[in-house]
Structures are given as structure tokens and as C-alpha cells.
Amino acid sequence: MKTNYRLPFILIALVIAALGCQLFTGPQLTAQPTSTAEALIPTTSPTPAYTPTPLPPIPVQPGESHPNEPVYVTGKITYTSPFFVNTISDGFVLLEDEAGFVHRDHQFAFPVNDQALGPIQVQNDSTLTYSLMLPALPQGTAVDVDNNGRKDAGVQVFAVAYWSNTWGDTFIEPRDGEGWSDAYSSTITDPQNNDEIKGGILIVWAPDDQQSFPTGFGPDGLLFTSDDPTAPIPAGYNIVDLSQKPFRVYKTARPTIDLNEGVVAVNDYSNMNYQDAFEALFQKVSKEYPFTAEKGINWQALHDEFAPKVAAAKDAQSFYLAIRAFALAIPDEHVGPPIESRDFLSQFGGGFGLVAAELSDGKVIAANVLPDLPAQKAGIQPGDVIVADDDGVVVVARKEAEAVLKASIAREENETGKRARLKSGELGLDIYKMRERLAEKGLKYIDAPDED
């Protein structure tokens, strides 16, 4: 994303022009210096008056006069994947500008100046919590969604969404993601209908009380289309519950908005028979897999090949082998079969029962830990970090990884400093303060043979 560097230069040019007008407004009589010394004394010009750029007024001032005006959002992020928090970096929540969805622009780049971020905290192996302070004057994209045929100031529409920062600086850039979120968001999207928003929560900011907002999806079942019924919306921040009919619009100072896992949620087919489970899996994968054309996948051919093998499965092992073969037939190294301990042992004849995986940031984690084998008995869990060097391999518990990393960096820096001191000629005796300890024992280290 490019930064607009023109504005600072324009401002500098204006300041220089203003000074020029002040200094060169015509001939002026000035006192001549009476001596060489006086001529060397620098003169100063008065500082020009600075007028700050006025900000637009806040339409609703939170506080005693408006105790329900939203200011601070909190909520939970529940996830089913045991690897979720280990496959991302620098996670946070974003007050996500939904102009991309309003215009159905999947390449919408989130403007840096409207990115309000909030921290997250890991609570347990299935839950994060977050907090997000709402800006007094949001800088999102104004969208006119009232369908009244007139050009209005419009409203700013936001979701709360979980993001990770993989590229560049602190903020989201196009390489991190574009468009709108279909997972870990306050909205609910339909992956089988171009990720259309079909429910959940939006946060809408209106600059005044003259704007309107949809009250329902309209006959076409879509949001922000021309057949949406609309009604006036109050100025300031509003919480809009899209799951109510009509939409519920309300204000509360500290709303609780939980995020939806969406399309990345783990699907549990364990209560189905083998054939039904395969059909449910196949329908989801064949419709939602994003690289069908790029990989040249013929889903019908795969179904025709593996559905009979699943139908012939008589026990869990034969069903597993059929599903494993189906997964391996998808030409994508990111798609892999589940690991089953008996199959693992039949192929490798033993081992620690630990399957490692390298993440995009270079981190290596325990992707699978098989039951009743040494890795599990040693307490290793999925997501734990695997670290190796010339001295060997260790596994660090996921929850302790950050503290261990900091301690390792501190130790390495300390050792680097000591090596530099030793290289310069300083004795380890002095680095480790051993002279004092020798003195306590009545001993003295002789630096040179002729020293008394």
C-alpha cells in the first residue's frame, strides 16, 4: 500500500511561501550594525501563527449526556482447530471497514488510516478474548445505503474481525488480505454464495441523524442491494444485529460481540455412517476448495473413484485407508490425510509418535501426537514448538514458547558479550568476579610470575 507523501511537501511549501511573503513584502528600513561583532549576532524572525486544521464535530459525545454511546467492545473468539493460534503471527482484532462487501469488491484494500486495532489474549486451547476501543471519529469509507435515490453523506459500516499481520508493518496490507472476512468475524458469511453476509453483528457509524440503514435483507435475500427496506439510524455508533427480523439497532456503551469461526471451523462427522460422512466431506471440499481450476481437479472423477471404496469399508481401519487415499489424490501439498497410529506404525515400524510440520514463518510444531507412544507419554501436545541445534532437539510447550524464546535471546546476547570481552584480553577470572571469591578463601591469583 502506498503512502501519500505529497501532503507533507505541500504543507512545507506553503510554510516557505508564507515566510517568503512575510520577509519580502517590500523595502524596509533596518538599523545597520554599529560594529563587526554586532553584525555577527544572528537575528530571528517572529514565528508565524499556527492555525490547526479543525476536525469535524463528534455527532454524539459519550458520557453522562449519552451513557449508552458505544465506546469499548469486548468478546470471545472460539476456535476448533488446535493449531489456530500457532499458524499465525501478531494476531489482533480489527475494526474492519466493510466497504469492500458493500461494493462486492473482493480486492478492496483496507485503508491504513481507518485501521483501529485491538489486542487479543489466549484463555485456553479453544478460546481467545479481545478488546477494542472505538475511535471517537472513525476514518472508514462512507457508503450511501439508504436507497432513497439521493446522494447522501452516508454511513461507515464495520465488522470486528480477527487478523494476523504477516507482511510489512503493524497494519494490514493487501498481502495480508483484502475484501472482507469470512472467518473469525462478527459477521456470518455464506461460502457457497460468494461469501455474502447473511447474519451476525455490524457496527455502523452515522455522522448525523439524517442517514438511513437497511432493516432487512429484502426479497433477494442479500444485504446492501436496491430492494433492502430502510429506516433512519441514530447519529454516532450503532450496533446492528443482522440475525433479527427486522434488524435490531441499538446502543450500549460496552457491547459484547463474539466472533464466528466461519468457514475454517472443524467439521465433526463422527455421528454419521461412513458413506454419509464421506458425502458430507466431499460436498464441502469440492465446493469450497479455492484452487480447483489452478490444480486441474476433476472432483466428479475423484468421487467416482473413492465413493465405492468408502462404501466397501467394513471397519474404522478400512474407512481410514479410503479417506487417506482420497486426501492424497488431491494434488496439493497443503492437503493431507489424517494420521492414524496403526497406519503410522505399519509404515514406519516405531518412532516417537510425533508428526512435525513447518509453518510459513519457519516455526516447526508438533502437528500430530499419536496416542500411547513416547511423545504423548512425555506430555507433548499438538502445537508445541520443536527446537533443534547442533546439541540436539527439544520440544517447548506452546504456552511457554514466548518466555523460552526471550530467555534464549538474552542468553545468546550475554554469551556474545562475554566472548567479545575474552577476545579483547579480559580474563574470565574478572568477568565472573572470581578474584573476590578467591580472596574470601585467603587466596590470590598471580597475574605475572614476578608479581608479589
pLDDT for 16 equals 35
With pLDDT > 70 as the criterion, what percentage of the chain qualifies? 81
Locate cell 511537501: which residue? 9
The pLDDT score that the predictor gives to residue 1 is 39
Q: Return the higher-pLDDT residue of 376 and 161.
A: 161
State the pLDDT at residue 165.
79
Q: What is the pLDDT of residues 242-274, one digit of tens each?
A: 999 999 999 999 999 999 998 777 778 888 999
- The closest alpha carbon to 234, from 251, 258, 222, belongs to 251
Predicted local confidence at residue 129, as pLDDT: 95
What percent of the chain clears pLDDT 90, i.e. is strictly above it? Answer: 38
What is the tens place of the pLDDT at every residue in 66-113? 999 999 999 999 988 766 766 556 789 999 999 999 999 999 999 888
Most confident range (mean pLDDT) of 174-183, 258-267, 366-375 is: 174-183
Give me the residue spans of the domains in the chain.
72-263, 270-331, 339-394, 397-452
Question: 147: which residues sit within 8 A by CB, 6+ positions away?
Answer: 212, 214, 226, 228, 230
End-to-end CA separation in angstroms for the chain:
71
pLDDT score at 125: 77
Q: Distance (Å, rounded) from C-alpha 411 to C-alpha 406? A: 9
**Whether pLDDT at 383 is above 90:** no
Q: What is the pLDDT of residue 22?
A: 39
